[in-house]
């Protein structure tokens, strides 16, 4: 009899876990429903275009007047005394960040499926925020990988000289995957996303993103313009994901002027009760 009860409980747990995950995916892909989503979309478009124009000009200036000079000032690649920088830069590696967020999401789902009431709501609201962080990093990274393949910019000293205009479009090789920096995309997207959800962490996350960006320059993995381009893609991509969540009423609110802000924790719990899950 006890064996049958155990099997039944296990079956119910798996059913709840599957239902949570299915509901989560359904909410993310449902049609937008927020009444002020059009205002938010216009605001996002204005800000994104302004950033593209200003930072785009800056990237061109770096390519023409600074990239070759900067990489010539860096220590030789493989210098033994750079081991702390090599450790630091791993904290911005896209695979590590995405796997960490994915494992955290899985852990939240496993715990939430066995809880009820307020305890489950708290887990689900935290899982909703983790979902946002995961996609805020993943989406710009996918765009960056496509751009790397199209542009085919050589990394510093590929070809034997500090040539910032070493482009082989559609090369598809690691040597010609310099623009944009995936580490910079990851770091700045994560910094924006964490800061959007937990405002007090903004200063620390900006410092983290800048340190990752500098590490890529010191290690001669990228030109300065690669890092700036990665930061631009990361921030705009994370802004787009934030709009996607806000337009569906997931974790963010939209003001009358189209401003997007994170929902209060109490409100997040009510949303989580409704269906959203990690």
Mean pLDDT check: name the lowest of 5-9, 181-185, 204-208.
5-9
Q: What is the pTM of this model?
A: 0.90
Q: What average pLDDT does the segment 112-122 reach?
A: 84
Q: What are phi and psi of 33, to 5 degrees?
A: -130, -5
Contact 160/184 with Cβ under 8 angstroms?
A: no
Contacts of 170 (CB under 8 A, 6+ apart): 149, 150, 152
| Cα 209 to the center of its chain, rounded Å | 12
Contact 29/129 with Cβ under 8 angstroms?
A: no
Q: Measuring CA to CA, how many Å separate 183 from each of 111, 137, 148, 203, 217?
A: 31, 11, 13, 19, 11
Of the chain, the percentage scoring pLDDT greater than 70 comes to 92
Question: Is the per-residue pLDDT at 240 higher than 90?
Answer: yes
Q: What average pLDDT does the segment 155-173 reach?
A: 89
Q: What average pLDDT does the segment 204-213 reach?
A: 98
Mean pLDDT check: name the lowest of 10-24, 59-73, 85-99.
10-24
Q: Residue 206's CB: how many other CB atoms inside 10 A?
A: 16
DSSP 93: -
Mean residue pLDDT of the chain comes to 90
| Cα 126 to the center of its chain, rounded Å | 17
CA–CA gap between residue 193 and residue 202 (Å, rounded): 9
Q: What average pLDDT does the segment 90-113 reach?
A: 94
């Amino acid at each position: 009899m006890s064996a049958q009860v155990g099997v039944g409980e296990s079956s119910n747990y798996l059913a709840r876990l599957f239902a949570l995950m299915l509901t989560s995916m359904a909410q993310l892909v449902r049609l937008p429903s927020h009444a002020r989503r059009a205002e938010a979309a216009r605001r996002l478009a204005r800000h994104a275009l302004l950033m593209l124009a200003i930072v785009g000009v800056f990237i061109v200036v770096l390519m023409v007047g600074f990239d070759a000079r900067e990489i010539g000032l860096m220590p030789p690649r493989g210098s033994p005394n750079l081991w702390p920088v090599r450790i630091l830069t791993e904290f911005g590696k896209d695979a590590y960040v995405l796997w960490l967020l994915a494992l955290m999401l899985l852990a939240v789902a496993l715990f939430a499926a066995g809880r009820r009431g307020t305890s489950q709501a708290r887990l689900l609201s935290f899982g909703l925020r983790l979902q946002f962080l995961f996609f805020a990093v993943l989406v710009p990274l996918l765009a960056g990988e496509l751009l790397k393949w199209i542009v085919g910019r050589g990394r510093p000293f590929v070809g034997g000289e500090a040539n910032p205009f070493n482009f082989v479009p559609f090369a598809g090789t690691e040597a010609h995957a310099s623009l944009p920096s995936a580490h910079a995309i990851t770091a700045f997207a994560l910094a924006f996303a964490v800061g959007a959800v937990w405002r007090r962490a903004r200063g620390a996350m900006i410092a983290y993103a800048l340190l990752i960006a500098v590490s890529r320059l010191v290690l001669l993995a990228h030109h300065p313009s690669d890092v700036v381009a990665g930061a631009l893609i990361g921030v705009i991509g994370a802004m787009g994901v934030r709009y996607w969540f806000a337009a569906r009423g997931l974790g963010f609110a939209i003001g009358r002027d189209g401003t997007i802000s994170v929902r209060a924790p109490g409100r997040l719990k009510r949303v989580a009760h409704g269906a959203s899950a990690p």
